[in-house]
């Protein structure tokens, strides 16, 4: 069965610190997609990144970077030099045509000024 685990329920760091959000997925499918979404206090989920199972390249977008490792079934998300505006709940998700979309339980990130 497909499963997404975000073991970190809450993280609190001081502004400008780097922070990594962990995501571990389980799937039996060979073709699948991994996502990260951000849910700020306003409530509307915002897409951050999508990766397919055949593309293990890491990605960097400004202060955000993602590390996809199939060997450990992980898709971790790092924010460099965190800012107060990064405070939100972050969800990791996986999708396959056989298993539909599954979200992790989310990690609440608080950035203290």
Partner 1 sequence: KAGVTQTPRYLIKTRGQQVTLSCSPISGHRSVSWYQQTPGQGLQFLFEYFSETQRNKGNFPGRFSGRQFSNSRSEMNVSTLELGDSALYLCASSPDANEKLFFGSGTQLSVL
- Residues at the site binding partner 1, with contacts judged by CB under 8 A: 33, 35, 37, 42-47, 50, 91, 95, 97, 100-106
Distance of CA 85 to the CA centre of its chain: 17
Residue entry with tokens 């107060």: 84
CA angle 14, 20, 22 (to 5 degrees): 135
What minimum distance in Å lies between the beta carbon of 42 and partner 1?
8
What minimum distance in Å lies between the beta carbon of 57 and partner 1?
17
What minimum distance in Å lies between the beta carbon of 89 and partner 1?
9
Cβ proximity to partner 1: between 11 and 15 the closer is 11
Question: How many CB atoms sit inside 10 A of residue 63's CB?
Answer: 13
Residue entry with tokens 């502004």: 15
Cβ proximity to partner 1: between 73 and 99 the closer is 99
């Amino acid at each position: 069965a497909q499963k997404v685990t975000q073991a970190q329920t809450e993280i609190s760091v001081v502004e400008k610190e780097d922070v990594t959000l962990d995501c571990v997925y389980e799937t039996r499918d060979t073709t699948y997609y991994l996502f990260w979404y951000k849910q700020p206090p306003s409530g509307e989920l915002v897409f951050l990144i999508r990766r397919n199972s055949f593309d293990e390249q890491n990605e960097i977008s400004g202060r955000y970077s993602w590390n996809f490792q199939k060997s450990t079934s992980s898709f971790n998300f790092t924010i460099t030099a965190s800012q107060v505006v990064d405070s939100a709940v972050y969800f990791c998700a996986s999708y396959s045509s056989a298993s539909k979309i599954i979200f992790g339980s989310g990690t609440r990130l608080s950035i203290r000024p």
